[in-house]
Amino acid sequence: MTLLISVAFVIVNELVPEMARPVPHLVLDGVLALSFLVLAVRYASLWIGAVMLLQGVQFSLHAYFFVTKLVPGRTYAIVNNLVTWGTLLGILLGTLAVLRATRAARSAPALPR
């Protein structure tokens, strides 16, 4: 989902005039945050919950700049990039943890009945 939303951001940035981009950006951030919410509720996973919260921060950042009509500058770029990298790192670490737990469960001997 993250990859699809990233591609959608690139498409929006290429096809939509700069003044009209905030609304599609908000929609895309909202869709990604909601997809993480669905996954967090479905799997009751702390790492997906953390990623969902980071995506909520991303949505809030875009909403704040949209509502206040501020021009994004250096602070916006830093926060935007840190949250994006935090989200990607959370997905990577969570995926590695799940893979490790799955391997450990497969290699564990079966308990006698």
Q: Phi first, then psi: what are they for 94, rounded to 5°? A: -65, -40
Residue with tokens 């469960």: 105
The residue type found at 108 is A
Of 42, 58, 63, 44, the residue nearest 2 (C-alpha) = 58
Other C-beta atoms closer than 10 Å to the C-beta of 56 total 17
Nearest to 1 by CA among 45, 41, 52, 63: 52
Report pLDDT digits (tens) over 4-34: 988 998 999 999 998 888 889 889 988 888 8
Q: Residue 16: helix, strand or coil by DSSP?
A: coil
- Residue range 80-109, pLDDT digits in tens: 899 989 988 988 998 898 899 888 888 877
Question: Structural domain boundaries of the chain?
Answer: 2-105
Predicted TM-score (pTM) of the model is: 0.72
